[in-house]
Structure 1
Amino acid sequence: ELESGTLRLLLIAPERFANAVFTERLARVQIALMAIDEAHCISEWGHNFRPDYLKLANLRRRWGVQRVLALTATATPQVASDIRAAFDIEPDDQVQTGFRRQNLHFFITPCHAKEREALLVSRLREAGEGPTIVYVTLQQTAEALAGRLSREGFNAKAYHAGLTDEWRKEVQDGFMSGRFQIIVATIAFGMGIDKADIRSVYHFNLPKSLENFVQESGRAGRDGAPAHCEILACANDRIVLENFVYGDSPSPQALRSLVEHLMLRGETFSISRYDLAGTKDIRPMVVATALAYLELDEILIPTGSHHAGCRIRLLQPEHRILAGHDPERRALIESLLSQAKESGFRMTIDLERAAEKTGTTITAVRETLRQLAELGDLTVQPTHLRQDYRRSPDVAADIPAVVSKLRQLFLRREESEILRLRQVIDFCETGDCLTRHLLSYFGESMEEDCGTCGNCLQKKTSSHSLPCSVIDDISVEDLLVIQALISEKHGALRQARQMARFLCGIISPAAARERLLTHDAFGLLAQVPFQTVLTQVESMLLT
């Protein structure tokens, strides 16, 4: 349909464009319109930057697409400028509808951390029944707070990325159907949620940006009826959020190791982002961002992608699968099935290893499995996606320059994230109309105060500092736990930065692979600034 010209609409994720074969097919098609949803993701200054979006503008030019529609609901003037520049959109062709939704009433309640649970319980009792989302920063906070609300008699469930897919679906379906009234969730909850009658959205912890606050609060009141949006604002949250920013930034050593891994290979090679994240202990999104920058600089040229493995499930006993085939074919299938490693109710096959052991090609292995699936003997699910690249021959000798440029790009991102967090604090401390403050941030003016936000109702006229509990020093007991952790000699915690991230509760690929996230020391120092923890760990590793 695509190549015949009968296909009118094609919906695809930006990550699909990593497949060079797919993009080459699209290059042969006349594209009437390229529409990009969540277009703010293309901007390095956007709150939800996704590296694969960076490639869309280049593809649009390569394909000669004349019409582009870039859509976003959370673009600041800077981000809107980035979107226009990327897609050659004239300022006069930017259409901005109003950000204000008059039925959303915003409130900021400054409080100490120890007061928040009781304050939230009080708010929920006052509000009465009505679907409610409570956003938190940490998974353990979601679990603990949902438990507290349940004990207080509320129908509350936790939702976060650490839960199984099946349970997350159960919780989401229960909320949508009305079986559960309150969801206590990390930002993993909300994308694609369109429940019209959500009456309240609380931010139990500070949001990490004003864009996030507007996006998450905007899930309330879609039926047009009044809705309550409130931040229980405590300055101590800033430490946890800053720790995530600093802990997410790759160290110069980690970047150098990553670049050397990519540059000192053959001219053509393939990689798994997931495996690379694990071996270098850099989060997959950070690896993807580094690869996107290297592609844009034409240091790496993507040539395609392939699956290096597959997961199969037998639908027939093995003797029935083998029956009816000629001896040569039967021997191939028998040898192929013997290569499968059992994993629960399914088996996994390394295609390259299977081809080597059976004396055939990877293509032949894939074809054999496809035919068995068509016969109803088994199911096949591709796994272990690998990206294929060709390396520019001119850059291998200048690895330090590549590392330095990547380092500067990541530092710029880090500064941007910290600035966004500062803007959240400013918003929570302002004495101005909250609605007016938000609209100004997104480049929209409002002639009069809204009259319905917390500041307007309380007639606040001056700014105020958020309460901040005293930050405890690292205690003697904490030091003993750290020393014991060091003596355990975990491979995922060999470096000081790895140990500091772990103690601050920041998930890393290596720690997750070693199943250390249930360790008592994980998140032990989540309320202590990352740099303080890092300095302490460095001194202890040297002694």
Structure 2
Amino acid sequence: MSDYGSGDELLDDVNADELLLAGSKRANPDHDGAQHPSKRTKQGSAEDQCTSIARSILKQKFGYDDFRHEQAAAIRNILLGENVLVVFPTGAGKSLCYQIPGIAFPELDAAGLTERQSTAATVGSGITIVVSPLIALMKDQVDALKRRGISAACLDSTKTYDEVKSINADMHEGRLRILYCAPERLNNEGFVESMKFVPGGIRLVAVDEAHCISEWGHSFRPDYLKVARFVEEIKAERVICLTATATPRVAEDVCKAFDIRESNVFRTTPYRPNLQLHAEALKTKKDKFSRLLKFLDKHDGPTLVYVTIQKQAEELADSLSKNGHSVACFHAGLPTERKLQTQDEFMAGSVRIVVATIAFGMGIDKADIRNILHYDISSTIEEYSQQVGRAGRDGKPSFCMLYLCRDDFWLRENFVRGDLPSRQSLQELLEDIFLQQPRSKLPDGGEVIKLNQLALSKDHDVRASPLSIILATIELRFGLIRAITPEYSSYQFEPGPGYNTRIKQDKSPAAKAIDGHSKKAKKWYTIDVNAVAKDVGLLRTDLIRKLNELNDKGVLRLKVSGVVNRYKILKKPPGTSKEIGKITDKLHAEMESREIDAMKRFEAVCDLLTDSQCFARALTEYFGMSLPDGKSKCGHCTYCLTGKPVVLPPKPNPTIDKAGINAILDACDVRDDPRFLARIAFGIKSPRVTQLKLDKKNIFGSLEDHAFESLLKEFTKACQRAGFDPNKKFG
């Protein structure tokens, strides 16, 4: 089944205002910054026992004699029931900070070191849930845990029906210790509901890549906003957030979301003395390949080469292969089987080089990666730091090279400039949501809006990623709506063995409704859960729960599709274009600020590598820390070795191509959106550009060597001549 959930009203009893204002509260209601009275007298011995148990597991299960850096302190506080934030660089052992507690809880219970609140605690030791963004990361860690005899599993979209059924059985029969899942699965009503009844409860929720929670993190993901709510709903005992790339501002956001005290933030410097950071400026991108071949001839060992786009990964891998290198490519567009094969071959050493887009490498536990090459400039310092941190985890010297080229700056700006919709598009999007979309009633009397985000994206020329952020911002900034569990528009099922007998033996009203109202085709039954619930007087929740139960028992095999996002209306929404216009102005200003911030992040990477200072020192100071032992330089980066900054060729500043501007205006009659026209000139795709097939014409990207702001200025003038008012107040 998909990682997205079918919908019901499971979340309607949550205090939305409280969540919006304060984020998730600690699961321990007694925590107020002081020790619990019943713990105070035993604190010293409890700390010692927790540390002793953790060290024993570290040695027996993982083969290490001692913890590194801040691992011991973080694990101890988790075992004592605290919420914790761990900010360790890539390769510093973040995963042990939740894996060891996940294994330790049965021993803690046996030693009387925990105070279990729920009755479920008396029948099991519970599980640890790890929220992680990538299937590759989950697979790698689960495989490693299983090799050590630790019961672990991951629920993801690659799992077969039988595999999911087996995982559910292990979980609810107390055999599973650690469960990995994607943040999107937290929308799945069956999953959320079942987590409330796991024997022993949810002892710990580990939030990997926790910087995704913060809108000021380098890869903000709206789905991560729901993790804090999930923690509250399932009454998780404690939380650990983990990231390699949290600036002080991002760390503060994460701590607020999960009520983490400052004393429970554990940081380790991102500085790695065995990593040699280098950069080289090139005149054109054509010069890169020969430099890459030269580097690979001089530097042996497993190597990752990072590129920006999928096609580039395939072409570069093919070129390296033709030059005799053992190489594979990896990007999100490849079949899952191919991606898993590439990961396995790289881990086993049968492939030396992987040319990949940003996703590859997260969570890959390969200690002997010798080289990281950035064929293109990274989009942020956080991304750069995370990727170079994948080299040399065994402590041996490793090399990280980044090729700087003015030609590549266009591609980075292309990504940034494509996410900000025009003011007009944003206004029309909000009018569609609040004035045109139908609303339906909830059992508690509230109202809900159902949105098809794919349709909204196409209708209003807004990319999928910024659309998700827009909806999250409406929720969090303005408090108008609250995302609740999405629902599927289509439910089908295939009967299992003895279906007819088993469904009739189930005397529940929901089972009778499913049996009596499902329509059979050749192989699959179809049921309209909304219509059936209304006809027979049941809650949609009851039908969905029963379908999931029958699916888990093998009575039927459920297939769902057509995700529809749902939003509960929290207070009276804007009712006129003028009222919506006020929100548009504020929201658009925020998105403009985010675009400016994204451009600054990209420029900061260039500044770090071309400034007159040690690369390692600049990188460490960006994250609010310093080099160890008062060092002012690493001694082996490009700047330290040469004593000179890397110098880029001067930035081109062509005069405006008036003929090129006119050619675009002649080919496209749009005059209400200067940004849309500037995107065409710069070569930026959007839903509207694709619909009009303008990306297939010669004008698309014809002025990509121009500054985007200069193009926007020229097209604004052209639209004004046609009657467009950029300062128009809506309504």
Regarding TM over 0.5, the answer is yes
Secondary structure of residue in 2 paired with 1:269: strand
Alpha-carbon distance, 1:138 to partner: 2.8
Cα gap change, 1:495/1:3 in structure 2, threshold over 3 Å: closer, same or farther? farther
1:454 is matched with: 638
Maintained 8 Å contact 1:21/1:304: no
Aligned equivalent of 1:116, options 276, 282, 288: 288
Alpha-carbon distance, 1:353 to partner: 10
2:392 is matched with: 221
Deviations 1:318-372 (A, max 9, x none): xx999xx99xx99976x5438x9xxxxxx9979579979x999997998999899
Deviations 1:178-215 (A, max 9, x none): 34322222213233333222211111111111110010
**Percent of matched pairs sharing the same residue:** 34
Cα gap change, 1:380/1:63 in structure 2, threshold over 3 Å: closer, same or farther? closer
Matched residues in 2 for 1:436 and 1:64: separation?
42
Deviations 1:96-123 (A, max 9, x none): 1222222211001121123222211211
1:209 is matched with: 380
1:391 aligns with 2:569: yes
Maintained 8 Å contact 2:419/2:465: no
Aligned equivalent of 1:163, options 334, 338, 344: 334
Deviations 1:140-164 (A, max 9, x none): 3333333332332223333333434
1:286 aligns with 2:405: no
1:4 is matched with: 120
Maintained 8 Å contact 1:263/1:391: no
Maintained 8 Å contact 1:236/1:469: no
Matched residues in 2 for 1:373 and 1:18: separation?
18
1:417 is matched with: 598
Aligned equivalent of 1:467, options 646, 649, 673: 649
- AA aligned opposite 1:123: F
Cα gap change, 1:359/1:528 in structure 2, threshold over 3 Å: closer, same or farther? farther
The 5 A counterparts of 1:190-205 are 190-205=361-376
Matched residues in 1 for 2:214 and 2:306: separation?
25
Maintained 8 Å contact 2:517/2:532: no
Cα gap change, 1:301/1:510 in structure 2, threshold over 3 Å: closer, same or farther? same
Alpha-carbon distance, 1:70 to partner: 2.7
Aligned equivalent of 1:78, options 249, 252, 265: 249
1:344 is matched with: none
Aligned equivalent of 2:612, options 428, 431, 440: 431
Alpha-carbon distance, 1:537 to partner: 6.1
Secondary structure of residue in 1 paired with 2:266: coil
Secondary structure of residue in 1 paired with 2:217: coil
Maintained 8 Å contact 2:475/2:483: yes
The 5 A counterparts of 1:525-540 are 525-534=703-712
Cα gap change, 1:213/1:313 in structure 2, threshold over 3 Å: closer, same or farther? farther
Alpha-carbon distance, 1:499 to partner: 5.3
The 5 A counterparts of 1:500-511 are 500-501=678-679, 504-509=682-687
Matched residues in 2 for 1:348 and 1:523: separation?
49
Aligned equivalent of 2:455, options 275, 289, 300: 275
Matched residues in 2 for 1:494 and 1:321: separation?
58
Alpha-carbon distance, 1:81 to partner: 2.8
1:180 aligns with 2:180: no
The 5 A counterparts of 1:15-54 are 15-18=184-187, 33-54=204-225
Deviations 1:265-299 (A, max 9, x none): 43422123333333333222222212222222320
The 5 A counterparts of 1:144-163 are 144-163=315-334
- AA aligned opposite 1:147: D
- AA aligned opposite 1:121: L
- AA aligned opposite 1:93: N
Matched residues in 1 for 2:494 and 2:353: separation?
38
Alpha-carbon distance, 1:435 to partner: 1.1
1:251 aligns with 2:399: no
Secondary structure of residue in 2 paired with 1:95: strand
Cα gap change, 1:290/1:367 in structure 2, threshold over 3 Å: closer, same or farther? closer
- AA aligned opposite 1:145: L
Matched residues in 1 for 2:308 and 2:356: separation?
8
Matched residues in 1 for 2:662 and 2:485: separation?
50
Alpha-carbon distance, 1:481 to partner: 8.0
Secondary structure of residue in 1 paired with 2:270: coil
Mean CA deviation greater in 307-316 or 497-506: 307-316
Matched residues in 1 for 2:590 and 2:676: separation?
21
2:145 is matched with: none
Deviations 1:50-90 (A, max 9, x none): 22334555676899878543322111222223333444434
Matched residues in 2 for 1:180 and 1:348: separation?
46
Matched residues in 1 for 2:288 and 2:525: separation?
48
Cα gap change, 1:174/1:519 in structure 2, threshold over 3 Å: closer, same or farther? farther
Alpha-carbon distance, 1:233 to partner: 1.2
TM-score (norm 1): 0.78
Cα gap change, 1:17/1:399 in structure 2, threshold over 3 Å: closer, same or farther? farther
Alpha-carbon distance, 1:477 to partner: 9.7
Maintained 8 Å contact 2:206/2:242: yes
Maintained 8 Å contact 1:133/1:184: yes
Matched residues in 2 for 1:123 and 1:228: separation?
10
- AA aligned opposite 2:480: I
Q: Which runs of 5+ in 1 are unaligned?
A: 341-346
1:98 is matched with: 269
- AA aligned opposite 2:475: E
1:381 aligns with 2:559: yes
Matched residues in 1 for 2:596 and 2:271: separation?
29
Matched residues in 2 for 1:245 and 1:256: separation?
21
Mean CA deviation greater in 64-73 or 470-479: 470-479
Matched residues in 2 for 1:25 and 1:376: separation?
16
Cα gap change, 1:103/1:304 in structure 2, threshold over 3 Å: closer, same or farther? same
Secondary structure of residue in 2 paired with 1:110: strand
- AA aligned opposite 2:642: Q
Maintained 8 Å contact 1:112/1:468: no
- AA aligned opposite 2:559: Q
Secondary structure of residue in 2 paired with 1:10: strand
1:308 aligns with 2:489: yes
- AA aligned opposite 2:292: L
Secondary structure of residue in 2 paired with 1:248: coil
CA RMSD of aligned residues (A): 4.7
Cα gap change, 1:58/1:9 in structure 2, threshold over 3 Å: closer, same or farther? closer
Maintained 8 Å contact 2:479/2:571: no
Matched residues in 1 for 2:688 and 2:363: separation?
30
Maintained 8 Å contact 1:352/1:362: no
1:343 is matched with: none
Matched residues in 2 for 1:142 and 1:538: separation?
37
Maintained 8 Å contact 2:454/2:464: yes
1:337 is matched with: 521
Secondary structure of residue in 1 paired with 2:372: strand
